[in-house]
Amino acid sequence: MHHIHTLLQISVLALSSAFLISCASAKGTSDTKTAAEYQPETAASNPSLSAPSQPETQAAQPETQAAQPEAHAPQNTDQGLSNPEQPIPSSAAQPEQLEGQKPVKDDSPAESTGNPSGSVPTDAAKQPDKSVTTTQTQPQQPPEPPPELHLTEVQMLSESGNHKSARQLALKNLRSGKSKDASEFWEAIESDPLFSHTMDEEVQPHGTNAISALGGGSTVSFKYTDSADESAKAALKPDQDLRQTMYRSGIAYYRICQILGCSFDIPVTRPARFSKSNFNTLYNASGSSKNSGYRSKFEHLIWAKEGNSSYLYVGYKEWISPFTGFPIEVTSVWSPYLKNPDANLPEVKSFLKAILSGGRADAVKHLGTLTEYAGNLTTRDILHQISDMILMDYLSNNWDRFAGEQNNFGANCHFHPGGIIAIDNDAAFPAWHAPRVVRRLNMVEMFSKDMVENLRTLDPDELMHHLFPNPTKEELKSFERFKERRRDALKYIDDLIQKKGKDKVLVF
């Protein structure tokens, strides 16, 4: 009896061991994948490689899986695992695949349906390439670049220092509706140091720099020179109590020309300042014979007290050379052409000769120089420049463009390589109306389309901030006059358009 009982125990233990071994084999097959499963030739020739035969293989399994995240990612992401005990690898557990990196295609076929583990769903086994195809046709997008790299074309132009092109493009975008507001344009303006920087460091005494008397008018003006050869660097219009001209008006004229897009040239005009000691040092360094007698005008200079120092603020106008006078006052030559868009225009040399003939007695001798400076300009190009300057002088109430005496014709309007250059614009933006600028505007009935549309598009109050930062009471009055002239100029042009047609008025 005891012998029978012993045999029964042995049988039970044997059955239990067999059962446990079977379970262990099934579990190992379900949970384990080796590199052999990703080699179709080897798996087909030796299916037993899909299940490990030794515990060491199971222990090495995580390294094998980690070494092939690309092969797991498509199956786990798109198809899932049928065995709930097998975890789905997260994207954070795959450091080899960078964000935005395109997954590597797994060219191996799906598991054989004979695999008892069921680690790949039945539907996936029937469509082995589905997950790979889905992953390839829907790749992850590249990561977004940092915000600072999202520069518009206008900003890129500004960053490269091409401020003029940046302004032109920003205005074009604004007029076409591509830009919702003028913020892009004003950002382009503010990025230009010529609109925001007061020159201090550039007018310190050094080398052979000097200040000499310029004269030539009823107000005080200087020339910033190199005393070694008396070559000019800039004309200086200082702050003074002779209010026929104001140094900030010349700066504002330059700025509004850059903003609206004048076709004629104007010297770069910026604010600068000299301390009293530096000014005296530079003035004494000049050997000009005029300097001694010109000191009598110093009583008109306005020195600004800042702390323990006194400063003279000036409009620093870069000197342009070479140039010669252009008698803009000879209106009888150019005005008829700016009233008749269908007129037959003379060639440039004949046009320039006619203008010079009405100027100073000896003006015609400069015909060769003017013709040379004109270069490839056409008569139409020069008329375009005249039209822009007359409109700009009207808007700024610049009454001092035309000289009263024939002997002085061309004193404030010059010609250099590239065409007309408007100098001495410090009489612009007075607080009172000048009827003469109205008469001159009536001599022109053909205008630049871009300039007129820019004037119409930009908010005049925004202009004020950039033309006269921290305005004085007098400048506020001056700007009110500007807004009135802007309104009247647009009305004058719109009336001409209604009468003659847009294509006969906005011709440049």
Query: 318, 333, 366 — which closes off a domain?
Result: 318
Say if residue 475 is in the same domain as residue 354: yes
Say if residue 250 is in the same domain as residue 236: yes
pLDDT band at 289 (very low <50, low <70, confident <90, very high): confident
Give the pLDDT score at 123.
Answer: 41
Give the pLDDT score at 142.
Answer: 66
Q: What DSSP designation does 115 have?
A: -
Tell me whether residue 45 is in a domain.
no
Radius of gyration of the chain (CA): 42
Please provide the average confidence, as pLDDT, over all residues in the chain.
Answer: 79
Rounded alpha-carbon distances, angstroms, from residue 358 to 4, 135, 241, 410 = 144, 81, 36, 11
Q: What is the mean pLDDT of residues 476-485?
A: 95
pLDDT band at 139 (very low <50, low <70, confident <90, very high): low
Show the 3-state SS of 404-448.
CCHHHCCCCEEEECCEEEECCCCCCCCCCCCHHHHHHHCCCCCEC
Query: 302, 318, 334 — which closes off a domain?
Result: 318
Give the pLDDT score at 207.
Answer: 82
pLDDT: which is higher, 68 or 436: 436
Tell me whether residue 246 is in a domain.
yes
pLDDT of 12 above 70: no
**Cβ 341 vs Cβ 348: under 8 Å:** no
Give the range among 58-62, 218-222, 270-274, 391-395 with minimum mean pLDDT.
Answer: 58-62
Give the range among 229-233, 371-375, 420-424 with minimum mean pLDDT.
Answer: 229-233
Query: 141, 175, 193 — which closes off a domain?
Result: 193
Say if residue 464 is in the same domain as residue 478: yes
Say what angle helices 379-396 and 348-357 make with each other, to 10 degrees: 50
Determine the Cα–Cα distance for residues 181 and 190; give it in Å rounded to an integer: 16
Give the pLDDT score at 144.
Answer: 64
State percent of the chain over pLDDT 90: 60
Q: What is the mean pLDDT of residues 409-435?
A: 94
Tell me whether residue 120 is in a domain.
no
Say if residue 180 is in the same domain as residue 247: no
Say if residue 307 is in the same domain as residue 330: no
Closest by CA position to 175, among listed 374, 460, 453, 409: 453
Say if residue 485 is in the same domain as residue 406: yes
Say if residue 442 is in the same domain as residue 494: yes
22-47 pLDDT tens trace: 444 444 444 443 333 333 344 344 43
This prediction's pTM: 0.70
Nearest 5°: the CA angle 212, 266, 449 is: 170
Say if residue 396 is in the same domain as residue 268: no
Tell me whether residue 134 is in a domain.
no
72 in helix, strand or coil?
helix
Say if residue 176 is in the same domain as residue 205: no
pLDDT: which is higher, 74 or 341: 341
Tell me whether residue 121 is in a domain.
no
Tell me whether residue 290 is in a domain.
yes
pLDDT of 98 above 70: no
Give the pLDDT score at 224.
Answer: 94
Q: What is the mean pLDDT of residues 433-452?
A: 97
Tell me whether residue 2 is in a domain.
no
Contacts (Cβ under 8 Å, ≥6 apart) of 453: 175
pLDDT: which is higher, 267 or 129: 267
Say if residue 369 is in the same domain as residue 485: yes
Task: Give me the number of domains the chain comprises.
Answer: 3
Give the range among 5-19, 152-166, 375-389 with minimum mean pLDDT.
Answer: 5-19
121 in helix, strand or coil?
coil
Say if residue 416 is in the same domain as residue 430: yes
Tokens found for residue 205: 């005494």
Give the pLDDT score at 501.
Answer: 98
pLDDT band at 494 (very low <50, low <70, confident <90, very high): very high
Say if residue 342 is in the same domain as residue 222: no
**Cβ 315 vs Cβ 426: under 8 Å:** yes
Q: What is the mean pLDDT of residues 206-235?
A: 87
Tell me whether residue 434 is in a domain.
yes
Closest by CA position to 275, among listed 310, 305, 302: 310
Domain range holding 270? Answer: 199-318
